[in-house]
């Protein structure tokens, strides 16, 4: 895929895989919007990625749809379109199914799964109107093979894989 001039939005871009994805997009000519719950961390990642003329750092907690909508609106205002949306925001939970804190489990699902679904629901209409766009959901091997003490995390990734496949099928029916 030619990335020059494309607009890529990456959730969870303040470190790790998200930051690396943002850097690869920027190095290949894309305009990149780096999202993180913390604006300062997003801006620090933007500085590490470089390409300040083609990057933008914004605060966005994907657990809140209004924040996703705000980011989409700002991206469209400044960059006019969204070609790629990367659902990367997430975190883990290492605990046994029998003893895990249910509030922590719910929070995990809110970010890893429901945040990604909310983002897909928000950006799909934009992409349909543009008649183009790509959504990339970052999953894990744990989304195919559950591990002991990783059941909740695996559950979010199994579900994300299913939602992504369903959304892809729906786009072509």
* pLDDT tens column, 53-105: 999 999 999 999 999 999 999 999 999 999 999 999 999 999 999 999 999 99
pTM exceeds cut of 0.85? yes
Catalytic residues: 153
* pLDDT tens column, 113-166: 999 999 999 999 999 999 999 999 999 877 888 989 999 999 999 999 999 999
Q: How far apart are CA 156 and CA 159, in angstroms?
A: 5
Q: How do the domains of the chain map onto residue ranges?
A: 7-171
Whether residue 173 is predicted with pLDDT greater than 80 in this model: the reply is no
Looking at residue 116, its pLDDT comes to 98
Contacts of residue 82, defined as CB under 8 A and 6 or more positions apart, other chains included, come to 7, 9, 72, 75, 76, 123, 126, 127, 130, 133
Q: How far apart are CA 19 and CA 35, in angstroms?
A: 10
Dihedral pair phi/psi, residue 9, rounded to 5°: -110, 125
From the candidate CATH numbers 3.20.10.10, 3.40.390.10, 3.40.50.720, 3.30.60.50, the one assigned to the domain spanning 7-171: 3.40.50.720
pLDDT band at 1 (very low <50, low <70, confident <90, very high): confident
């Amino acid at each position: 895929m030619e990335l020059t001039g494309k607009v890529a939005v990456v959730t969870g871009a303040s470190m790790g895989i998200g930051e690396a994805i943002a850097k690869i997009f920027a190095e290949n000519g894309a305009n990149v919007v780096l999202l993180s719950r913390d604006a300062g961390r997003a801006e620090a990642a933007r500085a590490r990625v470089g390409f300040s003329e083609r990057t933008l750092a914004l605060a966005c907690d994907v657990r809140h749809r209004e924040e996703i909508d705000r980011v989409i609106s700002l991206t469209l205002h400044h960059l006019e379109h969204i070609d790629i949306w990367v659902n990367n925001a997430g975190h883990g939970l290492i605990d046994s199914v029998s003893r895990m804190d249910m509030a922590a489990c719910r929070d995990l699902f809110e970010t890893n799964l429901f945040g990604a679904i909310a983002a897909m629901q928000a950006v799909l209409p934009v992409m349909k109107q543009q008649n183009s766009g790509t959504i990339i959901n970052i999953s894990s091997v744990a989304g195919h093979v559950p591990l002991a003490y990783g059941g909740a995390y695996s559950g979010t990734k199994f579900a994300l894989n299913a939602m992504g496949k369903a959304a892809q099928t729906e786009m072509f029916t």
